[in-house]
Chain A
Amino acid sequence: MFDFSVVTAWIDNLLQGCMSQTAAIIIECVLIGLVLLGVYAVFALVLILAERKVCAAFQCRLGPNRVGIWGSIQTVADMVKILTKEIIAIRHTDKFLYNLAPFMVIVGSLLAFACIPFGRGLQILDFNVGIFFMIAASSIGIFGILLAGWSSNNKFSLIGAMRSGAQMISYELSIGLSMLTMVILSGTLQLSEIVEGQNELWFIFKGHIPAMIAFVVYLIAGTAETNRGPFDLPEAESELTAGYHTEYSGMHFGFYYVAEFVNMFIVAAIATTIFLGGWMPLHIPGLDGFNHAMDYIPSVIWFLGKSAVMVFVIMWFKWTFPRLRIDQLITLEWKYLLPINLLNLILMTIIVAAGWHF
């Protein structure tokens, strides 16, 4: 299997060969930042197009089909349009906080995005507390949303922000606990080691019953964490116009939009990484010929393929289920998901301690 660290090591050697180490490090940091931002934007464009196509399919429509073949560059055109739009300043607001809020959201999302292992050796941040750092980074976004709702000087925005804050804080517990269940199975927090640990068998099969439960809980909580339907109360358009980003215009609105879609991808990517083996090909113990054949498919394709399936499932949720009420939402988390999660955690601990996994 191709290891992408060969490429990065080659670039590193090339730069260090023609300049001092300090300059090489600075240039590498800038390059990585640019690549990260570029990939982030491209992912957002692809995901928005995918969302529109999936939505159209569920509603028996065609979706965008005028710009480019099969509507393929529709979102690029949309991006150019939104970049040229005016950013309208609102009176009687705290300008500093109002303008800061979208950036907080995007920074949290970018930090979490940087941790994703896209392929063998293709990962930017690989701390030994990787998955923990990811949860921490994504919690920054909540602050941005609360700030947006407050500084918009609009009661609908404020209600949306409060809903969003309550929802994200609640569901973060479930996300953390279901991840913790899988961390018990893997024995490490480092994302690259978690993926390596699934060389024999993906964790969802290795941990059988508790892993499946954790997977379902994670998907529900992950969908709620990204404020997507059926949990899209913070921006429930029939009640709150657009929730916390009602007052934002131009690219400031675009930031929320982009961050929402990439957050959805991040949730799907974490599901892929900790349950479905990340970039690891499908390996079944005992079938060496099959395992060897699977290794010929590049790791990036494995990762993006599995993530695409997860993204599709999350979109499927959105266009199938009706929206929950706020009390139902909070009840679901605190009365059902949290107890299930805690019991599941104990179950996983027993199974790992007794060695009853595959």
Chain B
Amino acid sequence: MQDVLILRIVFGFLAAIIAVFSVMAVTSRRILRAATYLLFVLFATSGLYFFLNYSFLGAVQLLVYAGGIIILYVFSILLTNTDQESRAPIFSLRRWLAMLATFGGIALMIYLLLTNTWPEATMDTSAEVNMRVIGHTLMGSEKGQYVLPFEVMSVLLLACMVGGLLIARKRS
């Protein structure tokens, strides 16, 4: 329905934001700025989901990552850190190893991207995915439905919470 050019411009815009702010998030020396740049990356990612008309995942991305995890990061930064720029020298051996890993990763990604054969799009992205379908898939117990992983995740989160409480209460 819409013009292909507009879709390309929107996609390019979101992709550029993700790429630029990802790099800025890892190169920034101020930790709160890094968190802010990471937030922009997550915004743009949720923008991509909305772009694909998958508004459920987009809203989840906004709520869980932007509204939850980044807030948690900022909270822990506020509670622990003073905003001194980190001046710790990065050891040159470490730097070389990091560069090696980075370029290895880039090379591997480019190789995979170029050699992979992409399947034809199986989902029609012009309409929103019905919420009822998502709910049944997430909570159904039949084949191809995900209630077991969902519950296992909740047990994992519960274990994390109990562990956090245990660590926090140790002193008394």
Which residues from chain A sit less than 8 Å from chain B, CB to CB? Answer: 21-22, 25-26, 94, 96-97, 100, 127-129, 132-133, 135-137, 139-140, 142-143, 146-147, 149-151, 158, 161-162, 165, 169, 172, 188-190
Q: Does more than half of chain B's interface fall in helix, strand or loop, or is it mixed?
A: helix
Set of chain A residues within 8 Å of B67, measured between Cβ atoms: 136, 139-140, 142-143, 172
Q: Does more than half of chain A's interface fall in helix, strand or loop, or is it mixed?
A: helix
Compute how far the CA of A133 lies from the CA of B55 in the bound complex, rounded to whole angstroms: 8
Set of chain A residues within 8 Å of B70, measured between Cβ atoms: 143
Partner of B3, one of A21, A140, A143: A21
Question: Which of A135, A140, A169, A190 lies at the interface centre, i.e. has the most chain B CB atoms within 10 A of its CB?
Answer: A140
Set of chain B residues within 8 Å of A161, measured between Cβ atoms: 78
Compute how far the CA of A118 lies from the CA of B73 in the bound complex, rounded to whole angstroms: 36
Compute how far the CA of A189 lies from the CA of B83 in the bound complex, rounded to whole angstroms: 42
Compute how far the CA of A175 lies from the CA of B131 in the bound complex, rounded to whole angstroms: 20
**When the two chains form their complex, are residues A136 and B63 in contact, meaning their CB atoms are under 8 A apart?**
yes
Find the B residue at minimum CB distance from A188. Answer: B131
Compute how far the CA of A21 lies from the CA of B39 in the bound complex, rounded to whole angstroms: 34
Set of chain A residues within 8 Å of B59, measured between Cβ atoms: 127, 129, 132-133, 136
**When the two chains form their complex, are residues A94 and B71 in contact, meaning their CB atoms are under 8 A apart?**
no
The proximity string for B residues 72-84 relative to A, scoring 1 for CB distances below 8 Å and 0 otherwise, is 0011011000010
**When the two chains form their complex, are residues A128 and B128 in contact, meaning their CB atoms are under 8 A apart?**
yes
B51 within 8 A of A: no
B88 within 8 A of A: no
Find the A residue at minimum CB distance from B4. Answer: A22
**When the two chains form their complex, are residues B55 and A146 in contact, meaning their CB atoms are under 8 A apart?**
no
Q: Shortest CB–CB separation between residue B100 and chain A, in angstroms? A: 32
Q: Shortest CB–CB separation between residue B32 and chain A, in angstroms? A: 6
Question: Which of B56, B67, B128, B130 lies at the interface centre, i.e. has the most chain A CB atoms within 10 A of its CB?
Answer: B67
27 residue pairs A–B, Cβ–Cβ below 8 Å: A22-B2, A22-B5, A94-B33, A94-B83, A97-B32, A97-B33, A128-B128, A129-B56, A129-B59, A129-B131, A132-B63, A133-B58, A135-B63, A136-B60, A136-B63, A139-B62, A139-B63, A143-B66, A143-B67, A143-B70, A143-B74, A146-B71, A146-B75, A146-B78, A150-B77, A165-B74, A165-B75
